[in-house]
Structure 1
C-alpha cells in the first residue's frame, strides 16, 4: 500500500449553538415559546422579565447614532431585551472590537456566529406594555388559558351530583370508579366485568362477581345523573337513555308518547340503518308508518350523541394570534383597501438582561477565579443571544406575514372565495429564505384577520386549472363548494357530480373525485345523508 498526501478543498455547514437555537425557536408555537422562555428564566440568572415600560423616544431608531460608552465596548455586544417590537425592530450598531473569548469548558460556545450586529447596552430595547389579560376587572390576573383550566370537567360535575345521593361505602366507591372511567364523550367504553377484573387483580371469581354487582348498581345511578345519556356503553344506549328521560314527562300527549316509543324502537336496531336512513327497513322492523318513522328519525337527530361534549376542556380550542391584520384606509382614490400587519404584543415575551448582574460582571473582570468568570460571561452572552434569536423569530414571522397579506389582498377584501393559489416557494423566493424556513414559520402560527383567525398555512394552496388558462386556489374552490351546498334544496341535495358540473360552469376544472375529497375535508355529509326526511 502506497502512502501519500493530498490536498482537498470542501465546504460544509457548521450549525453553531446560536443557529441551532434560532431554528428551534422559529418552529415553536406560542405556547411552546412561552414554556421555553420560562425554562430559560429559571436556568439563566442574567435573564429577567421586564415589568416597567420604557419611553420609546429614548431608544430605537432615534438613538441609532448615539456613541457607545467605553465600558460597553469592552463587552460582547448583542441585543439584550425585547421591547416595542410589534411596531419597530429598533436599531442596531456595529462593534469593531472583537468579543472577549470565553474559557469555560462546559456548555455551548456563545461567542457568536460571526455577525457584527449589536445593540447599545443592556437596557436599550426597553420593554413593551404589560400583556392584556381579560375583561374581568383590574384585579384579575388570569388569562384565557387560566380561565379554560377553571372550567368544570365532566367528572367533577358528576362527582358533585353524586354527593347528593345517600349511598353506602361500597356503592359510593363503585360510582366514583365508574365516573373516573368515562371518556371525554361521557361513554363507558370498558365492560363492567373487565373493570372488575382489573380492579380485583386476582382470579377470585367470587370477588369479581361482587364487584360486578356493585358496578351494575352504580351504573344505574350514573345513568340517572345529568347530562342525560352519560355512562352509556354505545351510541344506541346513549340515545335510548335520552328518549326514556323524555318519556318520564307525565304531561305527554298520546301522539308525542307514540313518537317517542317509535324512536326507542329505532334506537334498538343496528345503528347503520339509522345512519343510512333506511326508511323502508326501519318501517318493517319497528312496525310503524312511513311518516311516523321519518318524524322519529328527525327527533333522534336532535338528541346529543356525545353527552360529555360541553365539558371537554376548552383550552384545546384557544388560539392566540401571533399576527394582527387590520384595515387602515384605502388607496388608489379610495378603491383599494390598505392593510396594516403587526405582531401581537400579547404573545411577545418581555425579556432583558439583568442590568445589575451584568454591571457587576463587567466591573470584576480581573478576579482570582478566571474560569468562573468566563463561565458567567458565557451565560451572559447566552442570555443576549436568546433575546436576539427571539427577536429574529418575530421579525421573520412579520416578514412572512406581510408577504402573505400582500399576495392575498383579495382574500382580506372579499373573503375566502377570492383566495389565490400560493405555494411556499413563492414566499421563499421573495424574501430570500429557504422553503423549510417558510414551512417552520407558517406552522402553528396564527393570523387574526377581518374574517377570523387562521393558521398561516391556510393561505397556501394548490391551484386548479380554469378555462381561461389561469389557476383557482383550492381554498377558494372549497369555499365555493361549501356555498353551493349551503344554498341547495334539502329535498334534492346536490351530488358530487352536479357540483363538479357547477364548478365547470364557473370555469373551474374540478373532477367529481376531487369534489368528494374537498367535501369530506369540509366534513360535509354526502347527498344521501343531507336529504331532508
Structure 2
C-alpha cells in the first residue's frame, strides 16, 4: 500500500483555560476588599482605567462634571422573576471636550471671594514657640500647622503595660532582665508559655531565682497575668481579692468537675454545703480567664453586604445589588484618543502597549459586569427558594444544595459555589452569608417534605431553652418530640447537633438548673 500525504478538515471542541478566563473565575470568589485591592492594582498599571468615587467624582482630576458616567443602578428584581437582569457598566464615557478653566466649568467667579487668611494670631508665650508647635501663633519653621495625630492617644499593649510596672516591682537589674525575658514569653491571653528550666539554663540562674521573680510578676496588673494554667490564673485573682481560702482552693483545683457540673463531688471536696458552693461559683464567674485579652486591639472588620433584599409593597421580595459593594470602573476612551492625536503612539512599542491596555481595560469592565450578573442570578434564585424563611423565620428554612440553584440558573455547581463564598445578603431578618441558606436535607418521619438541618438545630436549641428544672430533656426525649412533629432523626445525630451548639448533656444541664434554681433572685 502506497503512502501519500492528504489534507483533512476536522472540527473539534476543547477547553482552553486562558489567563483571562482564570482571572474571571477568581473574580467571582473575591470578597469586596479583595476585589477593590485587585482593581486598585489594575488602575496603577493601566492608564486607561478610571474608578468613580462614592460621591460620583472620577478618580482623575481632569474629569469634566458634564461628562461623568451615570451611576450604576441595580435594577429591582422580584423573587419570582424568571430571568434577572443585572446592572450595566458603560465603558465609553467622557466625550471629547476642549480645555476649559475651572471658572468656566463650574460657572463661578472667585475674584470677589473673601480670603481665608485672617489677621496674624498673637502667640501667648513667644519664648515657647520652638517647643510647642500647636500654640496659637506658631506655624512651625516649615510653615505647617499643628498635626492632629500628635494629640491622638496611642493604644498600649500588654507588654508595654507590664514594662511600666516592672521597675517599681523589681529593683535588681538581674531580676529585671529575667522579667523582660518572661514578658516576651506571654501569649495574647496573658499566660506564660515558657519553660522555667530552659530560662534558667539560658541565664545561668537558679530555678528558685526565676520562680521568685515570677511570683513577683504575678502580682502585677492585670490580675491573673503570668499564670501558666487556668487554675493558677483564677487562684492569682482570688488571692488579690482575699478570697482564696481552702474551700476555694479545692474548687479551683478541680475545674474539670465544675465543667461536668458534678456539684455533689465538689461539695465533698470543698467541704461546703450547696449554698456556699453556689456563692463560690458566683465568685468564679466574676473572674477573667484571659487577663491579657483587654490589651489586644484588633481592627474591626465591617461586612459589606453584596445583596440587599427588601419587602415589595406589591408582594414578594425586591432583590438588589448593593451599590456600595459594586465597583464602578470605566475606560477612559478620551485619553486614548488624545494620545493618538498628539502622536504619542507613533512608535510600534507604544502602540502595542496602548492596545494591550485598552484590551485589558475592556476585559476588566466586562468581567465585572458578568460578575454582577452572576451574583444577581444566584441571589434571586436563593430568595425564591427561601421565601418562606424570609417570611416566617428559621423554622421554615428549606433544604437547599448547590445543584438545585445551578440547574435553575443554567450554570455549573462550581460557579455557584464561588459566588456564594464570602458573599453576604442583607435581609429583613438580618445579615447572612449566602452559604447559610444551603443545608443538608433531613427525611420526614411521615414521608412528607424534608426538613433543613439548620431548622432542626434551631428547634433543638429552642426546646432545650424552654425546658424546666423538673423536666430536663434527654437526647431520647428530643428524638421522640422531633418525630412527633415529623422529623426523623437518630439519637446520635441529635447529640452531634447539641455538641456543635455547645449545649451540655441532660445530666449536666439538670445539675446546673437545680443549682441555679436555689440562687436567690436579685
TM bucket, shorter chain: 0.7 to 0.9
TM superposition shift of 1:123: 7.5
For 1:324, which of 308, 322, 329 is the aligned residue? 308
For 2:193, which of 189, 193, 208 is the aligned residue? 189
2:319 partner SS: strand
1:209 partner SS: coil
Q: In structure 2, how many angstroms separate the alpha carbons of the residues matched to 1:308 and 1:525? A: 28
Q: In structure 1, how many angstroms separate the alpha carbons of the residues matched to 2:182 and 2:305? A: 39
Contact 1:81 1:353 in 2 (8 A): no
Contact 2:246 2:270 in 1 (8 A): no
TM superposition shift of 1:354: 4.3
For 1:408, which of 366, 383, 386 is the aligned residue? 386
> CA distance change for structure 1 residues 178 and 48 in 2, over 3 Å: closer, same or farther?
farther
Point out the more displaced range, 283-292 or 236-245: 283-292
TM superposition shift of 1:168: 5.7
Point out the more displaced range, 39-48 or 459-468: 39-48
For 1:451, which of 424, 429, 432 is the aligned residue? 429
Aligned pairs (5 A) from 1:70-469: 83-87=71-75, 89-91=86-88, 119-121=91-93, 153-159=157-163, 170-172=174-176, 174-195=178-199, 200=202, 207-209=203-205, 216=211, 219-247=214-242, 261-269=246-254, 271-315=255-299, 318-329=302-313, 331=315, 338-354=316-332, 357-363=335-341, 367-466=345-444, 467-469=446-448
CA RMSD of aligned residues (A): 3.5
Structure 2 length normalisation: TM-score?
0.72
Q: Which residue of 2 aligns with 1:40?
A: 42
Contact 1:81 1:350 in 2 (8 A): no
Q: Which residue of 1 aligns with 2:22?
A: 20
Q: In structure 2, how many angstroms separate the alpha carbons of the residues matched to 1:422 and 1:347? A: 26
Q: In structure 1, how many angstroms separate the alpha carbons of the residues matched to 2:166 and 2:292? A: 16
TM superposition shift of 1:171: 4.5
1:440 partner SS: helix
2:390 partner SS: helix
Q: In structure 1, how many angstroms separate the alpha carbons of the residues matched to 2:309 and 2:156? A: 34
Q: In structure 1, how many angstroms separate the alpha carbons of the residues matched to 2:402 and 2:216? A: 56
Q: In structure 2, how many angstroms separate the alpha carbons of the residues matched to 1:316 and 1:52? A: 22
> CA distance change for structure 1 residues 324 and 528 in 2, over 3 Å: closer, same or farther?
same
Matched length: 433
Does 1:515 find its partner at 2:510?
A: no
> CA distance change for structure 1 residues 457 and 196 in 2, over 3 Å: closer, same or farther?
farther
Q: In structure 1, how many angstroms separate the alpha carbons of the residues matched to 2:70 and 2:499? A: 44
Contact 1:323 1:341 in 2 (8 A): yes
> CA distance change for structure 1 residues 37 and 166 in 2, over 3 Å: closer, same or farther?
farther
> CA distance change for structure 1 residues 208 and 284 in 2, over 3 Å: closer, same or farther?
farther
Q: Which residue of 2 aligns with 1:29?
A: 31
Q: In structure 2, how many angstroms separate the alpha carbons of the residues matched to 1:163 and 1:358? A: 66
TM superposition shift of 1:379: 1.9
Q: In structure 1, how many angstroms separate the alpha carbons of the residues matched to 2:69 and 2:208? A: 65
Structure 1 length normalisation: TM-score?
0.71
Contact 2:91 2:330 in 1 (8 A): no
TM superposition shift of 1:404: 1.0
* Offset from partner CA, 1:178-231 (integer Å, 9 cap, x none): 34432232222222333565xx4xxxxxx3326x67754553454333432222
Contact 2:440 2:453 in 1 (8 A): yes
Q: Note the residue ranges of structure 2 that are not aligned, 5 or more in a row.
A: 58-67, 77-85, 97-153, 516-522
> CA distance change for structure 1 residues 123 and 155 in 2, over 3 Å: closer, same or farther?
farther
Q: In structure 2, how many angstroms separate the alpha carbons of the residues matched to 1:439 and 1:313? A: 34
Which one has the largest radius of gyration? 2
1:329 partner SS: coil
Q: Which residue of 1 aligns with 2:124?
A: none
